[in-house]
A and B are shown apart, each in its own frame.
Chain A
Amino acid sequence: MIMRGIIMITEMLSLTFMQRAIAASLMVAILGGYFGAFVVQRGLSFLGNGLAHAAFGGVALGILLRQEPLYMAVPFTLIVSLLIVWLKDHTLLGSDTVIGILFALSMAMGSIFLSMTPGYAGDAFGYLFGSLLSVTKADLWVTAGVMVLALGTIPAWGRWASATFDRELAMAEGMPCQRDDYVLAAALAVTTVVSMKVLGITLVAAFLVIPSASARLVSRTFASMTLLGMVFAVVGSLLGLVVSYSVDWPSGPSIILVQTAMFAACMLVGRRG
């Protein structure tokens, strides 16, 4: 039994497409776990959902223009994310309303772009639920680029944490909260896009939420919640990939199932502790 497991994992590691899927998952797990702490504490899961659907519009545009889909999806989703924050700041509408509108618009545009693409027979199912086979070399480069950009926001962690805890106080002490909202939304946008290949559009938002929510249940400080969220995201993604490979389930749902099991475990530990 153990031998069979070792053989399977060795085999899995020797396959190029699996190596790519693992590398991509590791990077998006670190990103998702890090920004997920803010998503959970600021109640931004609907934003994550909206951005994932915006990414679909960008992917479809890429397919229509016969470009690498992620090259289109990154700027497209970035623009939608900034537009969401801008509309929220400059109208009387709440963010859920603004997200709801742009979410639908992006999906509508994406569907129209696909319908305009002659002879498109791509794997829509793969985009919806994630696919191990779909991670390309270009995806890895884009993801690595996003990782580098995300590293640039680490010095802002303390400021973002303060503003998450008490925004009025942070503003009263002169922190640039409105500017930071744009940066955080942009960071979430690019994280969402690069997570899409492995997780699928429908499950990206959950991927941003579940590891950090699990970490919240067993953390007393925001620093430990951030760190544990990243650990849970990485462990959950890797185990999810093993499940996906061994029973041939789509990668997104496999990862989410493992992460949810970890969440349940944290519920039990958290209740006792």
Chain B
Amino acid sequence: MSASAAIVALDVSVQFGDYRALRDIRFVLPAGGFLAVIGPNGAGKSTLIRALLGLVKLTSGRLQVLGRDPAQLEKNQVGYVPQIKTLDRQFPALPLELVVSGLRGTWPWRIRPAERAAAMAALKRVGMEELADRPVAKLSGGELQRVYLARAIVRHPALVVLDEPATGMDVVGEADMYRLLESYRAEHHAAVAMVTHDWEVARHHATHVLLLDRRQIHFGPPEEVLTDAHLRHAYSHMGHHHSMEVSPAHDHAGHHHDH
């Protein structure tokens, strides 16, 4: 295993009770690489993300993120951009507070000057410094996603993990976000791991694509992986096993499948 790799997955399997969410995932994402994770609903994409964040115990295999066991990662090593659909828009929050919450780990009661400076720098990076004090209820989906990106990069992580970041965004907002992500990646030589449904985005931005259907269908450069034959293979399994085996009971045990 090379410490210079961003992610090393060696036969990673994750099982929740009888449900095999991931089995025998095996790939290496080099330092500074951009990984797109693609697959049908229930393919284990979110489970993989949670494993990268150190929140899921592997049933077997080994996973290293930035040369470490994910559970041992420092908080400033990985930045996470969630799907923006789960937040409470009615919550009294300002973008500045949201970014400081990424810096501190919990919601701020008061913001210290040093925290304000760091958060403003991150907001400036994503072009949101002028809206730092506007309630989140008044932000568009694209603006909010940029705030979440600022929150993820405020501690200059070496890996940014994104879960379907384009959900609810318009085309311009989406293009903006990928541009910001690319510039952050170039400047910090950071790696990116992103779950997406969008093959075109994967084709344009990713250095590596992981095609998943609970098993690994294929891993490699986009032009190799994103072929009609591979995609048809991955998506042809939808229907029989997913509808049979994904029961709500799994969600209640706190394990989240893809939406």
Contact = CB atoms under 8 A, between A and B. Distances in A.
A272 interface: no
B71 to A, nearest CB: 9
Interface string A56-77: 0000000000000000000000
A172 B55 contact: yes
A216 B88 contact: no
A222 B248 contact: no
Contacts of A137: none
B220 interface: no
Nearest to B85: A168
B92 A219 contact: yes
B104 interface: yes
Interface string A235-266: 00000000000000000000000000000000
Contacts of A166: 82, 86-88
A40 to B, nearest CB: 9
Nearest to B101: A162
A173 interface: yes
A161 interface: yes
9 contacts: A41-B92, A158-B101, A159-B106, A162-B101, A168-B82, A169-B82, A178-B254, A221-B93, A223-B109
Interface of A: 41, 89-90, 92, 157-159, 161-162, 164-169, 171-175, 178, 216, 219-225
A165 B252 contact: no
A224 B108 CA distance: 11
B87 to A, nearest CB: 4
Contacts of A172: 49-50, 53, 55, 80, 82, 163
Contacts, number: 82
A225 B98 CA distance: 16
Interface in B81-119: 82-83, 86-88, 90-94, 97-98, 101, 104-110
Given A41-B91, A221-B94, A221-B97, A158 B107 contact: yes
Contacts of B80: 169, 172-173
B104 to A, nearest CB: 7
B109 to A, nearest CB: 5
B86 A223 contact: no
Contacts of A168: 82-83, 86, 256
B67 interface: no
Contacts of A171: 55, 254
Nearest to B90: A41
B30 interface: no
Contacts of A159: 106-107
Contacts of B221: none
Given A172-B82, A222-B91, A162 B252 contact: no
